[in-house]
Amino acid sequence: MIARLLIANRGEIALRIIRACREMGVESVAVYSDADRHAPHVGAADRSVHIGPAPAVDSYLSARRVIDAARATGADAIHPGYGFLSENAAFAAECEQAGIVFVGPPSGVIAQMGSKIAARRLMQNAGVPVVPGETPHDQSDSGIAALVSRVGFPALVKASAGGGGKGMRRVDEAAQCVEAIQSARREAESAFGDGTLYVERLIEKPRHVEVQIFADNHDHTVHLFERECSVQRRHQKVIEESPSCIVNSRLRSRMTDAAVQAARACGYRNAGTVEFLVDTSGGRGTERFYFLEMNTRLQVEHPVTEQVTGLDLVRAQLLVASGEPLPWLSPSISQRGHAIEARVYAEDPSRGFLPQAGRLLLYREPRLPGIRIDSGVEEGSDIPVQYDAMIAKVIATAATRDEAIARLTCALRDFPILGVHTNVPFLLRILEHPRFRAGEVDTGFLDSEGASLATAGAEMPDVVREAIATYESSSRESRAASPESPAPSPQSRQDPWDLVKSWRS
């Protein structure tokens, strides 16, 4: 069994993994950049290592610094989380060479699945259907533009090394082509260090359905059913759920069979996700699905699967990485009830979803039955500009989809976050939308309806006006009462130890 695990990540996923370590008696090692000195994941781990300045390329994305930190602390394994180095085959290979267990598939599998061409070829050979497209050999603007016209509009230009919607552009007409290519390439280079682009035909109004798979070193490959993630904004998932309301038992068995087939074909190990686009344009019973990509890591939305199966995916990852067999096999795995996850981001929907940086002046997670919250912040935390703006995942579980939606709505209404704008009002409007309620949402839903969902809220209610007036007058009084205090606003967090320091000096 792994004795000491270094978690090469930050935020909620680092905390999620640290908690699994604690349950299993595995020592945890956190890493942090300058921007994260006081982040919750640092204090939660058994020990922590500073790995560099705030920019991710010099800290969380630096394979050398992460491996040095593992060596320095005697960690025998590294969990990459998601994002950062999680799908970096060279990093996995360096771990293997350094004799450190990489919690994930072998580096060769990451490399193969990370290359869209190799992944597609493999899937085609394994009998899994794929969407038409290719990575042009000629990676110049004109070479890529030529392929875009050949594949036809609308087309997608995306990072060959990508994921998470970074470095991805939709092209509707030839005039947009060059700007889209250049901007996708720049984003690909800065996010993945590799600007190679891939072009594919865009399937109109597809649904995004993915299958969680898991494989061990003892010839067991299982699936943990599907998740639907069709509510996406610019290819970034916003709401995820399981089961999918368009997947009936027949389609489910076809898709999960294909996913297990895909995992076996590439010699997969540990947790992975096979993403499919489902074309529902032919109506019920004639759905066609296409392999989109395989994510060779734990997904952001893994809690949805944990909630409907009752299984702990991170625990299983650590067992499998230690060489043990999977703790559960197919006949015992079932899908029960319905789970929905909403991602809470520090962004301002009324101003083009501009990412927000700042301090959480107030942050209170709701406590309700059937609600799980995976977060990486606490009241007073600073949201740094350098990283992804997700602050929490709220997961509602109930017997039915309608009940889960009602639960999630209640939880978000009761989740005060002040100091930075968040997408919570936007999430609530999605959950109330008739198309979402009816389960008639394709991946273009937010791009077509998003503008109306993102509009600024209504006038300030009288109750709020009165509360603000009460608050302001009480802060004026406290300011008058202590004239020597320079910043007497209620939000200034007076740390008693600061006073101690001033006494000593």
Partner 1 sequence: MAIVKIDRDGKQHTVYVAGSAGDVWAFYDGHVYRSERPERPAEAGRYERGSERHGRYELNAPMPATVIKILVAPGQAVRHGDTLVVVEAMKMELPIRAPGDATVKAVNCREGELVQPDRALVELE
Binding positions for partner 1, rule: CB under 8 A = 166, 179, 183, 186-187, 190-191, 351, 354-357, 361-362, 364, 385-389, 412-419, 421-422, 424-425, 428, 457-458, 460-464, 466-468, 470-472, 474-476, 487, 489-492
Rounded to the nearest 10 degrees, the angle between the axes of helix 445-454 and helix 424-432 is: 120
Least gap, CB of 365 to partner 1 (angstroms)? 13
Q: Give CA 235 to chain center in angstroms.
A: 12
- Nearer to partner 1 by C-beta: 332 or 491? 491
Using CA atoms, how far apart are residues 301 and 16, in angstroms rounded to an integer?
12
Q: Which amino acid is at 477?
A: E
Least gap, CB of 35 to partner 1 (angstroms)? 12
Q: Give CA 1 to chain center in angstroms.
A: 28
Residue of 105, 413, 51, 114 whose CA lies nearest to 270: 105
Using CA atoms, how far apart are residues 202 and 331, in angstroms rounded to an integer?
37
* 211 contacts 299 by C-beta, under 8 angstroms: no
- Nearer to partner 1 by C-beta: 64 or 186? 186
Least gap, CB of 236 to partner 1 (angstroms)? 9
Least gap, CB of 292 to partner 1 (angstroms)? 21
- Nearer to partner 1 by C-beta: 204 or 414? 414
- Nearer to partner 1 by C-beta: 152 or 416? 416
Tokens representing 3 are 């004795």
- Nearer to partner 1 by C-beta: 1 or 57? 57
Least gap, CB of 331 to partner 1 (angstroms)? 42
Least gap, CB of 354 to partner 1 (angstroms)? 5
Least gap, CB of 37 to partner 1 (angstroms)? 18
Return all residues near 52 (Cβ < 8 A) that are at least 6 apart. Answer: 33, 34, 58, 59, 62, 65
Residue 53 CB neighbour total at 10 angstroms: 13
Using CA atoms, how far apart are residues 498 and 241, in angstroms rounded to an integer?
46
Least gap, CB of 433 to partner 1 (angstroms)? 15
- Nearer to partner 1 by C-beta: 175 or 487? 487
DSSP secondary structure letters along 239-289: EEEES-TT--HHHHHHHHHHHHHHHHHTT--EEEEEEEEEE-TT-TT--EE
Pairing of strands 77-79, 4-7: parallel
- Nearer to partner 1 by C-beta: 170 or 252? 170
Least gap, CB of 298 to partner 1 (angstroms)? 19
- Nearer to partner 1 by C-beta: 127 or 490? 490
- Nearer to partner 1 by C-beta: 331 or 460? 460
Alpha helices (runs of H) in 1-140, residue ranges in sequence order: 11-24, 40-44, 63-73, 89-97, 107-114, 116-125
